[in-house]
A and B are shown apart, each in its own frame.
Chain A
Amino acid sequence: MRNILAFPILALALVFQMAVLTRLSLLSGAADLVLLVVAAWSLQERVDTAWQWSLLAGVFVGVASGLPVLVPVLGYLATTGIARLVLKRVWESPILAMFIVVFFGTMICLILTLVWASLAGGNYPAQEAFSLIILPSVLLNIVLAIPVFLLVRDLATWMYPAEEIV
């Protein structure tokens, strides 16, 4: 059930991202709602399906995008890895943890994309990529981090209810 629910939620996030968020760009950067969902989900303490969700999210984005599947898969898995690492260290401040994960996760995903795009022979000057895409995207993701975190936390609370103390 918990893994099955990943399909509609991630698909919905991807559709919303492709239809709406990509049009609300800052310079050439855009928010990555799928990454935000993956990051927020991975930061929920009781969630034990974070890796499956990030793998599925990577496959979804890889299929819908012109990127090879491996690039988003690696990016989202790395984001989940950072989230799990951060969860053990700053667990008392989940919002701060979300900011940290979103910042580094976005950077890793976009730098991976930049590396692939440059290797594929495209016209991607690194300086322009940072100033026009990576930094604005990081900023947009950080702006959206809190609302997404709160929504995903409610979802996680619903799916993983706290055990009753007898």
Chain B
Amino acid sequence: MDETTGDVPRSRLPRNKVSPSVVGKVAAFIGITSVCAIILWHVIVKVMFMRGNIFIPLYTILVAGYMLSRFLLAAFYRPPRDAGITPSIAIVVPAYNESSAVARTIHSLMALEYPPHLLEIVVINDGSTDDTWDHMVEAASQYAPGRVRCVNPGVNQGKRKAMAVGIRETRAEILVFVDSDSMPAPNAVYKLVQGFADKKVGAISGLTYVRNAETNALTRMQAARYYVSFQLLKSAESVLNAVTCCSGCFAAYRRAAVTPLLDQWENQTFLGRECTHGDDRALTARVIKTGWKTIYDSQAEAWTDAPDEYRKFFKQQLRWKKSWSREGPMLLSHVWRSRPLALLPIAIQTMAGLLSPFVIAYSLAVPIMGGKFPIIYFLGLYMVAMAFALLYRMFRNDGLWLYAFFGTFFYISFSPQLVWAILRIRDGKWGTRPSTAGTTNISKQERRVARAGKAA
């Protein structure tokens, strides 16, 4: 994954609470409510005056209704209460060519506030070609034996397989996945597992901030986007107990929910190719399918590094779009059975997501072809983007709220990428790794290299 930005003292991390004033909160809330009210009014008008070509109004109604439902459901979201439970936890960290950063991750995980005898850390070296393994072992040796388990399968098999190795190495009740460039808050793991007091909960997603938010405009936009996605979309999904992606950077799964799915998930193939991307989304979907609840805990906070170069961002988006266009429709095929309430929003989300490149193209092509400028579409976009920005401003007063606005348009401008993602969906290249690592089509030469690395 991305190279880490080096050790960041905790004090320099974005503050957990950059609390806005009461006036600011109320003003932002009024702004969001006004936007929602106007959109609701528009939907009612569309329904009452529907005629003629049914598809465009229907699209508007569904998408606007989806947006409104997000805000409404998110308003009802409450984080799981502190049940005081402390199940045994294994934190699984796959690492690939992280060098000394892996040591930093290990140290930060060891600083977590959780009963030591119930917390173990499993670090898997996914066939790194650098000195990751050495740093790993060196860091682990600083702690009592058994606290940090270093696993070295020897070959580079991809993130998913590495995680599976880690899962099999431990017997802990709860599995917490932390990306090698993520850093949970000291109390985060304790908070994260509280939701498992409900025996039907199979997976819980934490709230992830962008650690390098202040690097440049790109990371600022991502920071704002992350926050809004978690606080709006995941909150809303959580109310229906169907969070569709308990993200890989910081999420917990119940072992009982994962074990029956492990082989199937690890060896998932799509169109004849082994799936390498979207490990988190694929696993969450399977957990939902078997009937478990998946929820979101906004009190369990972690920080992760976002790509700070457009090239890397582009590749990350391509990976996410590939896994989304694979898992979205697949989730749709079974979610009606396990979570009927979540069917409609997921269906709209999938439909609108798949159509978005064409809607954008259509909206831009119509005025160019001499038609009427779709002013309603763009004004609506402005309002929704501002509602996102105001939502950010309602919770955080760190000067980044407008980036949520810009970010919305920035992300939309990436939507045509979906077409390419679907066309190249079988291509499992990770994009941050130099070779075809991650696919199973490892050439003999690469195997030799891997073996040589192991021998070394």
The answer to whether A and B interact is: no
